[in-house]
Amino acid sequence: MRTDSVRGRWRTALITAVVAVGAAASAAAGVPAPLPSSAASPAAPVDGSEVRFIVGESSLLDWLRAATPYAVTIGTQLVRADLILLDPTDLHLKDGKATLRIRAKGTTLPIDQTLTPVITLAFDREQNAYFGVLSSLPLAIPGLGSVDLKEFFPRFAIPAVLENLWRFADKPVGLNLKIHRIAILDRALEVGAEITFAPIPPVGARSAR
């Protein structure tokens, strides 16, 4: 079981979904909302290098199930609670929001609750990047009252470029995706990206980032 930082785990889990986290612009009634002018997607090139991905709810839920359970620690140095997040169910994408149910089970305190996180996507003009944002998510801790888990899950950046997704067997050439837009549709996540090919350095190259 992984015990990375809370921020790192949720970034990884949602980057692909939102994730992949994961992450962003809202959409309404199944039609992507317009992006800010600074992030507007360019017109599709004549050579067709602009690609569009649609990922359904069931595929995203399968990914989350494969990514759990996760061990996380919340609280301060004085009061801490170790939790395991597991059994994600009922993932729904609608009106620019991703909602799901996930079980939170304590290992150091008697906690066993089903949480319903709500994740939205936001675009930061200054950083020219998409972020996933967790809405208020209260957790009842016996003897200590309620804690809002949002305080422990800051917004997470969604990578603007996915590099070296594919390597050709006989030549060091990578396939790269530069993400222009992300939107939560009704029951699906839409990603628009520009596809490019570039040489892979012979030393220190990684399969994906």
CATH of the domain at 153: 3.15.10
For residue range 153-163, list pLDDT tens digits in order. Answer: 878 888 788 77
Q: Please say if the pLDDT value at position 47 is more than 80.
A: no
What global pTM score does this model have? 0.65
Q: Which domain holds residue 12?
A: 6-199
Mean pLDDT score of the chain, rounded to an integer? 74
Residue 92 parent element (H or E): strand 80-94
Q: Please say if the pLDDT value at position 127 is more than 80.
A: yes
Per the structure, how many domains does the chain have? 1
- pLDDT at residue 167, rounded to an integer: 64
For residue range 98-124, list pLDDT tens digits in order. Answer: 999 999 999 988 999 999 999 999 989
The count of other CB atoms within 10 Å of the CB of residue 40 is 11
Q: Is residue 44 part of a domain?
A: yes
Q: Are 64 and 55 in contact, with CB atoms under 8 Å apart?
A: no
Of 27-41, 76-90, 166-180, which has the strongest mean pLDDT? 76-90
The per-residue DSSP string of 8-65 comes to: HHHHHHHTTT-------B-EETTEEPPPPGGGPPPPPPTT--EEEEEEEHHHHHHHHH
- pLDDT at residue 165, rounded to an integer: 65
Q: Is residue 206 part of a domain?
A: no
